[in-house]
Amino acid sequence: MKIHEYQAKLVLAQVGVPTPKGEMAESPEDVARIAGELGGRVVVKAQVHVGGRGKAGGIKLSSTPEEAREVSGQILGMDLKGLTVKKVLVEQAIAIDLEYYLGMIFDRDARRVVLMVSKEGGMEIEEVAERDPKAIAKAWIDPAIGLADYQVRDLIFDAGLSRAHVKEITFFIKKLYEAFMTSDATLAEINPLVITKDGQVIAADCKMDIDDNALFRQKALAAWQESEADSAIEDEARERGLTYVHLDGDIGIIGNGAGLVMTTLDAVGREGGKAANFLDIGGGAKAAVVKNALEVVMMEQPKGVLINIFGGITRCDEVAKGVLEACGQLDIQVPIVVRLSGTAEAEGRALLEGTSLIPAATMQEAASKVVELAYATR
Ligand code: GDP
Ligand code: MN
């Protein structure tokens, strides 16, 4: 789960990390009021769940409350990489001397959290990582020991950060790691970590992603969950207990088992189609679950649907019943290709005979059929 910058900064504040004074606002009037209270120059920052807001025009400086009202009028409601801006963060502007990068994520190969530090922070960090990977110093953290002091010192020296601020930067690295661990984060970044013209160290931006599987014990963070346009269907699927991911294509996919569903996505891709979603009905699904699944997939308004079932614990006849029930209740106008293989396969296929559902013997055949039919009908 992604959280906004203003929320991540609240998490930082909880562990004692300094961030610029500021407040979140949802209207230009509130922005003007907050800017007035803060006094002096402020920065108005779009709060959306994407990076690179600066480059996309989502971050603007202003000198007066009136100007802040004006720029927030441009930012609120703007489309930022496909997302509509509904909130902004209004903060005291800072006089930037240096911009550093601090970040941490899981390194699954190393099975450790990896810490990354660079003196070339700011908006070009992705380019820096590509052009000059050595400019980013890294340290892997042993989960049994935690972040050791020597690692922090090594990171600061390896990255070539200002010697004058070793103490403060050490504090930020340790605190960011503390926030990462206590929030069950999967990513935490301060970019830029700013050294101001008067020698202060401050977190000008912060990004955090929280592990969805930890939300049950992160109640305060879970309360920040927002539904976005794209994830409305995902929310619906979650409520129905389905494992679901929205994708951008036009072929609805239902399968049992994450591996099979991913393979099905690939098969559809190889035939030149694009999947609208990932949906795993899991093992042993009954007719009701299948019906639920098809209902959710139809919300994507796909051009065709592929149901790919490998019957083990899941019975193919249960799946067929569910599909037929759903079809009886929904007015489905697009081709539905069904591949059933394994337990109760013959019974399942018999149920589908004489209906508008299109049988396929193999996954390859199913993928090729659904792509051909889906793109032919519209
Ligand atoms: P991002 O583009 O989404 O990562 O948003 P950031 O908050 O990192 O802002 C992008 C850039 O805007 C930073 O790298 C800074 O150079 C600049 N910036 C952000 N906040 C301030 C501020 O308070 N004062 C000034 N002068 N520049 C800022
Ligand atoms: Mn940033």
- Of the residues 100, 101, 177, 244, only one is catalytic, namely 101
**What is the distance between the alpha carbons of residues 319 and 322, in angstroms, rounded to a whole number?**
5
Q: CB atoms < 10 A from the CB of 20, how many?
A: 20
**Chain segment 7-19, per-residue pLDDT in tens:** 999 999 999 999 9
**What is the distance between the alpha carbons of residues 292 and 244, in angstroms, rounded to a whole number?**
12
Joined together, the tokens standing for residue 181 give 């661990």
* Ligand closest to CA 58: 1
> Which residue among 45, 71, 92 closes a domain?
92
Q: What pLDDT score was predicted for residue 292?
A: 92
Q: What pLDDT score was predicted for residue 108?
A: 92
Q: Report DSSP state, residue 91.
A: E
Of the listed ranges 15-24, 262-271, 317-326, 367-376, the one predicted with least confidence? 317-326
> Which residue among 43, 68, 92 closes a domain?
92
**What is the distance between the alpha carbons of residues 208 and 219, in angstroms, rounded to a whole number?**
16
CATH number for the domain spanning 34: value is: 3.30.1490.20
User: How many domains is the chain partitioned into structurally?
Assistant: 3
Contact 274, 250 (CB under 8 A): yes
115 plus 216 within the same structural domain: yes
* Ligand closest to CA 196: 1
Q: Could you tell me the sign of the dihedral formed by the alpha carbons of 320, 240, 294, 259, in that order?
A: negative
Mutational test site, ligand 1, from 6, 78, 96, max ligand atoms within 8 Å of CB: 96
246 plus 319 within the same structural domain: yes
Asked if pLDDT for residue 105 goes beyond 80, the answer is yes
Mutational test site, ligand 1, from 43, 55, 90, 201, max ligand atoms within 8 Å of CB: 43
142 plus 178 within the same structural domain: yes
Q: Which residues line ligand 1 (CB under 6 A)?
A: 43, 45, 51-54, 59, 61, 91, 93-94, 96, 99, 122-123, 191-192, 204-205
Mean pLDDT score of the chain, rounded to an integer?
Answer: 94
Mean pLDDT for 357-372 is 96
- Of the residues 91, 189, 300, 318, only one is catalytic, namely 189
3-state secondary structure of 305: strand
> Which residue among 188, 205, 222 closes a domain?
222
Q: What pLDDT score was predicted for residue 60?
A: 98
60 plus 185 within the same structural domain: no
% pLDDT > 90, the chain: 88
55 plus 162 within the same structural domain: no
212 plus 241 within the same structural domain: no
* 12 CA distance to ligand 1 middle (Å): 17
Mutational test site, ligand 1, from 191, 205, 206, 207, max ligand atoms within 8 Å of CB: 205
Q: What pLDDT score was predicted for residue 229?
A: 59
For residue 129, being part of any structural domain is answered with yes
**What is the distance between the alpha carbons of residues 29 and 73, in angstroms, rounded to a whole number?**
9
Asked if pLDDT for residue 238 goes beyond 60, the answer is yes
For residue 127, being part of any structural domain is answered with yes
* 102 CA distance to ligand 1 middle (Å): 15
Nearest CA to ligand 1 atom 23: 93
CA-based nearest residue to 66, from 94, 22, 29: 29
363 plus 235 within the same structural domain: yes
For residue 367, being part of any structural domain is answered with yes
3-state secondary structure of 224: coil
**Chain segment 53-96, per-residue pLDDT in tens:** 999 999 999 999 999 999 999 999 999 988 899 999 999 999 99
**Chain segment 239-293, per-residue pLDDT in tens:** 898 999 999 899 999 999 999 999 999 999 999 999 999 999 988 888 889 999 9
CA-based nearest residue to 206, from 359, 5, 14: 5
* 205 CA distance to ligand 1 middle (Å): 7
* 124 CA distance to ligand 2 middle (Å): 9
Task: Please give the helix or strand (H or E) that residue 74 lies within, else none.
Answer: helix 65-75
% pLDDT > 70, the chain: 98
| DSSP letters for 238-255 | HHTT-EEEE-SSSEEEEE
* 59 CA distance to ligand 1 middle (Å): 7
**What is the distance between the alpha carbons of residues 193 and 17, in angstroms, rounded to a whole number?**
11
263 plus 358 within the same structural domain: yes
Domain residue limits at 279: 230-374
236 plus 366 within the same structural domain: yes
Beta strands 277-280 and 243-246 are antiparallel
Active site residue 189: yes
Asked if pLDDT for residue 228 goes beyond 80, the answer is no
- E strand spans, the chain: 2-3, 22-25, 42-46, 59-62, 79-80, 83-84, 88-92, 96-107, 112-118, 136-141, 185-196, 201-203, 206-210, 243-246, 251-255, 277-280, 304-311, 336-342, 358-360
* Ligand closest to CA 51: 1
> 23 pairs with which residues across the strands?
90
Asked if pLDDT for residue 377 goes beyond 60, the answer is no
**What is the distance between the alpha carbons of residues 321 and 324, in angstroms, rounded to a whole number?**
5
Asked if pLDDT for residue 230 goes beyond 80, the answer is no
